[in-house]
Chain A
Amino acid sequence: MNKAYLFLLGCFCLLLAGCWDEVNIEERGFVIGVALDLAEEQSGDKPIITMTDQFVVPSGLGTPSEGGNNAETPYNNLSISGQSLFKITREMALIQGNPPFYEHLKLIVVSEELAREPEMFANSMDLLIRDHEMRRETKVIISDQKAKELLEIESQIEPLPAMHIDRVNENMDKSGALIEPLRIGNLNEYMLEKNNYLIPRVVPSDGKMMFNGAGVFDGKTNQLVDVISGLEIVAVNLITGDLKGGYIEFESNDGEMVYEIKRAKSNIEMNIDETGKLNIDIEIDTEGYIAEVFSDNSLLSKEYFNELDKLISERMEKITSNIIKKAQEDIGMDFFGFRKMMEERHYKEWLKVKDNWDEGENIFQNASINVTVDATVRATGTVDQTRD
């Protein structure tokens, strides 16, 4: 019996030989940002992509007690070109000892140049959605310039460029000119449902970066079609009811004023009449404060508030109608998500029109869309007048 135990014990020792998947934490190359560009040198028929991975260099970050005043930069960008992203990620293991590890990936930046190429955007997103290391919460943005330049912009407060951009992306409640950050999981949803979508757009300039507008993507070809501005995004957010906070500048009889939107709600009704025409009625309700006044009048009177309400509503109606006109006439695409709303609320009708939404019969372009805005001014900040 004892011999048998010894034999078994010996056998089990074989199991101690090692672990296949052992990776020490200091041997992992944590990637927090990925930038995708078209390579500068193209050869052959298939386009070549440059992928830039931003690796964290923990020693450059320092600990709070050290104050992080190390000379070392806390990140290391590595760019490789090739056709397949997977191949590129594996080639990175040929260059540096810590192969890339994507579980903590925060941000994907795609250059507009690449996004304008047909099918390229969808192709390059495939690995980033498919691979099991990738998370569906990774945010996607597009860049006006080379995407890899964006991953070199340092900020004093946030030493890692990818984290810096990621944090700015969250400031939706301060500025209405930001759209809800696009997560790659949602992108996957748009791609599968063939709905058009917007991706936040960043413009680098002089070693700084700024969110500026959004790119309009065609849900069928997954290709960048046009770009809309920050003010237009405020209008889009008002229409979809996604506005978390923001402001509207408007002209009153006494000069320029700024209205800060604290809360916005939209109610969208849509129906298709007998002739097959789509009617959309959008009611927008907002409330907020007068944030800045360039005049010396007293604001606090019921009539004046009503007048301001009217002025603000008109201003909002103007900007929302403009963006709708732009979508219907210039861009010719529905990026408000009306098609998705149609599917959710009027499924039977949607089945009939889904293939003719912004192609074929162009239901969306020929739709009549009415916007009514009801803006309310609640208060004027802490004072009535700042001068007399």
Chain B
Amino acid sequence: MKRFKYADERISERDIMIAIPSIVMGVGILSMPKQLASVTKGADGWIPLLLGGLFAVFISWAIAKFASGFQGQTFLTYASKIVTKPVAIVLSLMFAILSIFVTAYQIRKISNISQQYLFDRTPIEVIALPFLLVVVYAVSGSRAGLFRINMMFMPIILSIALIIVVFSVGWLNAGNLMPVLQTPITGYTQVIANTGAISYLGFGILWFYLSLVDKPKKAPKAAALGMCIPVGLYMMIFIMCIGVFGNAVTSNLLYPTIELAKVVEIPGGFFERFESVFFVIWIMAIFITATMAMDIGIFALNAIFKNTEKLKIIFILTPIIYFVGMFPRDVMEVDLIGSIMSWLMLILNITVLILLTVVAKIRGVKRNE
């Protein structure tokens, strides 16, 4: 079986810039306005969204800055140098396991949502399987190819999101955005912890993908810029949701972003049911999120088990992902797993960042600038 090989497996810092919004924008945005609106007043949710976003931009920049110091080295290599090999393996394994959970969660969530809105009678298991198989197909090819998919999908995804924002302006009721700044401080802290920062998870990919970048000098800036895209988009969508539905309704809609897409009507009865287009495109967004998450898992495992073929790892992981995804019984359990997973991911990223930076300083590990 001959496989087509791309010339090289190198990527540019522009690929990194696109990869960040690609992995960040997944299923989270569909329910994010609800979670924010239910603990804030009026449209105040934009503040934690912005603060969480700035925090995420900073973390992405810091991770990229740190990782770009070790040009051409994988996470395992430089982590071994800093904190000894066993610890590095444990860290890699944790990234791999969490990435697998992220993939499983994304697949389960989109299966649930598309069953609710599109496939009334198709079992969730059947919706999830083809989706997973396509994801598997994508990851079993070249890694550089993944970045090309990102590059191709991202403009489409961004434009559909912008179209929704623009066309729902007609339904906007400015009164809904008030009262301004009436949320108690406790409300904000709760949100920043619960949704603000977690909506932006995905910067973990930088630990791994930066080793593929040829000239990582500009990568930190690119990563930070990339993170700004979801921050801006999330804020726009959140404000539109509140403006169109009002705070009380937004906090009661399970998927406000989809409902927002349902509101959009091209005038004159020319085009109703805009959400069908939105769905198709958002499934693309979730597809690349799931693909990248799975690829990170493979990347991390491949670095540990150097002698095992990539395809073998994929074929072992696939059924695991499927079973993990199908494990939760109902919507509540899916969300619980989602939030536990996001928390672990956040903690892991920050711990690794602090641990590696501090230990590298103490032990004086040289970065190859």
Once bound together, how far apart are the Cα atoms of A20 and B273, in whole Å? 21
Please state if B259 and A189 are interface contacts (CB–CB under 8 Å). no
Proximity string of chain A (340-384) to chain B, C-beta cutoff 8 Å, 1 when within and 0 when not: 110111011000000000000000000000000000000000000
A21 touches B259 (CB 8 A): no
Contact B272 A104 (CB under 8 A): yes
A106 to chain B, nearest CB (A): 10
A137 at the binding interface (Cβ < 8 Å): yes
Specify which chain B residues have a CB less than 8 angstroms from the CB of A20 in the assembled complex.
Answer: 119-123, 126
Minimal Cβ-Cβ distance residue in B for A1: B1
Interface string of B172-188 (1 = CB under 8 A from A): 00010011001000000
Whether A262 sits at the interface, judged by CB under 8 Å, is: no
Chain A residues with Cβ under 8 A from B179's Cβ? 343-345, 347
Contact A347 B118, beta carbon cutoff 8 Å: no
Known: A341-B175, A343-B179, A344-B175. A189 touches B248 (CB 8 A): yes
Q: Is the interface of A mostly helix, strand, loop or mixed?
A: helix
Contacts of B265 in A (CB 8 A): 137
Residues of A within 8 A of B246 (CB): 189, 193
Q: CA A343 – CA B177 in complex, angstroms? A: 11
- Contacting pair A189 B182 (CB below 8 A): no
Given contacts A1-B1, A343-B179, A345-B178, are A188 and B121 in contact (CB under 8 A)?
A: no
Contact of B249 among A132, A137, A185, A340 (CB under 8 A): A185
Contact flags (1/0) for B26-47 with A, using CB distance below 8 Å? 0000000000000001100000
* A283 CB, nearest partner CB in chain B, Å: 18
A193 pairs with B273, CB closer than 8 A? no
Q: Which of B113-127 contact A (CB under 8 A)?
A: 116-123, 126
Residue A103 interfacial (CB < 8 Å): yes
Q: Which residue of A lies closest to B120 (CB)?
A: A21
Closest to A23 in B: B120
A136, B252: Cβ atoms under 8 Å?
A: no
Contacts of B1 in A (CB 8 A): 1
Query: Contact mask A182-215 → B, CB, 8 Å, 1/0?
Result: 0001001100110000000000000000000000
Report whether A21 and B119 are in contact in the complex, using a CB–CB cutoff of 8 Å.
yes
Q: Indicate if A135 sits at the interface (CB-CB under 8 A).
A: yes
Q: Is B245 an interface residue (CB 8 A)?
A: yes
Instruction: Choose among A21, A185, A341, A347 the residue that contacts B245 (Cβ–Cβ < 8 A).
Output: A185
Interface size class of A (residues with CB under 8 A): 20 to 34
Residues of A within 8 A of B117 (CB): 132
Nearest opposing residue in chain B for A350, CB measure = B179
B130 CB to nearest chain A CB (Å): 8
Complex contacts, B126 vs chain A, CB 8 Å: 20
Judging by beta carbons under 8 Å apart, are B263 and A192 in contact? no
Q: Does chain A have a CB within 8 A of B262? A: yes
| Distance A348 CA – B175 CA, assembled complex (angstroms) | 16
State in angstroms the CA–CA spacing of A103 and B275 once bound together: 11
Contacts of A341 in B (CB 8 A): 175
Question: Once bound together, how far apart are the Cα atoms of A132 and B262, in whole Å?
Answer: 10
By a CB distance below 8 angstroms, the chain B residues around A135 are: 262
B249 (CB) vs chain A CBs: closest residue: A189
B130, closest chain A residue (CB): A15
- The answer to whether B116 touches A132, judged by C-beta atoms less than 8 angstroms apart, is yes
User: What's the Cα separation between A65 and B126 when bound, in Å?
Assistant: 45
A343 to B117, CA, bound (A): 34
Chain A residues whose CB sits within 8 angstroms of the CB of B245 once the complex forms: 136, 185, 189
Residue of A nearest to B127 (CB): A20
Within 8 A of B (CB), among A1-57: 1, 15, 19-21
Among candidates B118, B119, B178, residue contacting A344 with C-beta atoms closer than 8 Å: B178
Which residue of chain A has the shortest Cβ distance to B117 in the bound complex? A132
A186 smallest CB distance to B (angstroms):
8
Interface 1/0 per residue, B234-260 and A, CB below 8 Å: 000000000001101100100000010
Instruction: Please state if A103 and B273 are interface contacts (CB–CB under 8 Å).
Output: yes
CA gap between A347 and B180 in the complex, in Å: 9
Whether B178 contacts A137 by the Cβ 8 Å rule is: no
List A contacts of B122 (CB < 8 A).
19-21
Interface hub of A104, A340, A344 (most chain B Cβ within 10 A): A344
**Nearest B residue to A134, CB-CB:** B262
Q: How far is the CA of A345 from the CA of B176 in the complex (A)?
A: 11
A27–chain B nearest beta-carbon distance, Å: 14
Partner of B118, one of A21, A189, A193, A348: A21
Chain A residues with CB under 8 A of B123: 20
A15 to B119, CA, bound (A): 16
Q: Which residues of B contact A193 (CB under 8 A)?
A: 246, 248
Q: How far is the CA of A112 from the CA of B364 in the complex (A)?
A: 81
- Decide if A340 touches B118 in the complex (CB within 8 Å): no
Indicate if the CB atoms of A347 and B41 lie closer than 8 Å.
yes
CA distance A20 to B125 in the complex (A): 13
**A122-147 contact mask (Cβ, 8 Å, vs B): 1 or 0:** 00000000001001110000000000
Query: Which of B119, B248, B252, B273 has the most chain A CB within a 10 Å cutoff?
Result: B248
B42 to chain A: which residues have CB within 8 Å?
344
Which A residues are in CB contact (< 8 Å) with B116?
Answer: 132
The residues of B that contact A345 with a CB separation of less than 8 Å are: 178-179
| B116, B249, B272, B273: most-surrounded residue (chain A CB, <10 A) | B249
Q: How far is the CB of B31 from chain A (nearest CB, A)?
A: 15
**Residue of A at shortest CB range from B251?**
A192
Tell me if A21 and B121 are in contact (CB < 8 A).
yes
List B residues 58-114 near A (Cβ within 8 Å).
none
Whether B262 and A192, one on each chain, are in contact in the complex, defined by CB atoms closer than 8 angstroms, is no
A183 to chain B, nearest CB (A): 9
Q: Let me know if A136 and B41 touch, CB within 8 A.
A: no
- The contact sample of 27 A-B pairs, CB cut-off 8 A, is A19-B122, A20-B119, A20-B120, A20-B121, A20-B122, A21-B119, A104-B272, A135-B262, A136-B245, A136-B259, A136-B262, A136-B263, A137-B265, A185-B245, A185-B249, A185-B263, A189-B248, A189-B249, A192-B249, A192-B252, A193-B246, A340-B175, A343-B178, A345-B178, A347-B179, A347-B182, A348-B182
Other A-B pairs, 20, CB within 8 Å; known A136-B259, A347-B41: A20-B119, A20-B122, A20-B123, A21-B118, A21-B119, A21-B120, A21-B121, A136-B263, A137-B265, A185-B263, A189-B245, A189-B249, A192-B252, A193-B246, A344-B42, A344-B175, A345-B178, A347-B179, A347-B182, A348-B182
State the 6 A-B residue pairs at the shortest beta-carbon distance, nearest first.
A344-B178, A347-B179, A192-B248, A20-B122, A20-B121, A347-B182
Residues on B facing A (Cβ under 8 Å): 1, 41-42, 116-123, 126, 130, 175, 178-179, 182, 245-246, 248-249, 252, 259, 262-263, 265, 272-273
